[in-house]
Amino acid sequence: MLSEDQVLRNIVRSLKQVYDPEIPVNIYDLGLIYNIDLDKDYKATIKMTLTAPGCPVADELIEQVNDAVMDAPGVTDAEINLVFEPEWDKDMMSEEAKLELGFL
């Protein structure tokens, strides 16, 4: 059986395969993933946001996130919660994402 740390790493690895449709950066490095929780049965609860509340592909992106998390080895179930507090801004991006987009 995988440890909690291994499963969390697997989830992050899977989330880095999901890209924002308008910005060529994965959603994890973009800072759209606010929180990842695992319960004792390895059900993942993800708190995420969007770059803009009126994103036309919100439903599709949430489905992609759910599929990616469910594909992560060790995850038994997933719940994706979309939030808008705090509001996303470019300061939430990783250094790698900022460099890739020319913000550094």
Give dist(CA 68, CA 6) in Å, integer: 16
pLDDT band for position 74 (cuts 50, 70, 90): very high
80: β partners: 46
Burial of 49 (0-12, 13-18, 19+ CB in 10 A): buried
Q: Of 92, 98, 76, nearest to 35 (Cα)? A: 92
Q: Render pLDDT for 9-67 as a digit per residue (tens, 0 to 9).
A: 999 999 999 998 888 899 999 999 999 999 999 999 999 999 988 888 899 999 999 99
**How is residue 41 written in tokens?**
């049965």
For residue 73, what are the contacts with CB-CB under 8 A and spacing of at least 6?
Answer: 2, 6, 7, 10
pLDDT recorded at residue 79: 98
Residue ranges and CATH numbers for the domains of the chain are 4-86 (3.30.300.130)
